[in-house]
Amino acid sequence: MEINFKRYGLYLIRWQLSTPILAGVLALLGGLGALAATIIANLIGGLIFFWVDRFIFTSESLAAQWEVKEEVRCVDCGKVARGYRLVKAENYDKTRDPAPEFRCEECSKRKSEELRRKGIKF
Ligand SMILES: [Zn+2]
């Protein structure tokens, strides 16, 4: 299984966001008893997080994938350094590129701007 760390990170943050809801509802409705208040808190959380989770797991804007390789020659400046390449974005797919091009950090930033100008979203 391939893990998308952007999605994973957002998912972990989203779990933390459910904490204040639980705490808040328990504080407000604690009089109903912990069990009833927790059931209500989870109902509220479910109503909100259904949509948040759906975004986290299906949004194409989070699908950008980068490949990082150590000690690789930059195709632009020829420097041997840590190389980066955009593999996949919403409207960009180089997953089957027979000759993947890696760029050093500096050249990668320049190339990223160029791709953004062309309308690639990542
Ligand atoms: Zn370079």
CA of 61 to the centre of ligand 1 (A): 26
Domain boundary among 14, 43, 61: 61
CA of 72 to the centre of ligand 1 (A): 10
Paired strand residues for 86: 66
How does DSSP assign 63-81, residue by residue?
--EEEEEEEEE-TTT--EE
pTM: 0.55
CA of 107 to the centre of ligand 1 (A): 4
CA of 68 to the centre of ligand 1 (A): 14
Rounded Cα–Cα distance for residues 34 and 38 (Å) = 6
CB atoms within 10 A of CB 86: 20
CA of 74 to the centre of ligand 1 (A): 5
* Domain presence at residue 12: yes
Q: Strand, coil or helix: what is 93?
A: strand
pLDDT of residue 88: 86
pLDDT of residue 65: 82
Rounded Cα–Cα distance for residues 64 and 5 (Å) = 10
Structural domain range at position 104: 63-117
Contact 47, 74 (CB under 8 A): no
* Domain presence at residue 14: yes
Q: Do 52 and 76 share a structural domain? A: no
Q: Do 67 and 31 share a structural domain? A: no
CA of 102 to the centre of ligand 1 (A): 9
Count of structural domains, the chain:
2
Strands of the sheet with 80-89, listed across from one edge: 65-73, 80-89, 92-93
pLDDT of residue 1: 60
Domain boundary among 21, 43, 61: 61
Digitized pLDDT (tens) for each residue of the chain, 122 residues in all: 667 888 899 999 999 999 999 999 999 998 999 999 999 999 999 999 999 999 998 887 777 788 999 999 999 999 999 999 999 887 889 989 999 999 999 999 999 999 999 998 88
* Domain presence at residue 122: no
CA of 84 to the centre of ligand 1 (A): 10
Rounded Cα–Cα distance for residues 8 and 2 (Å) = 11
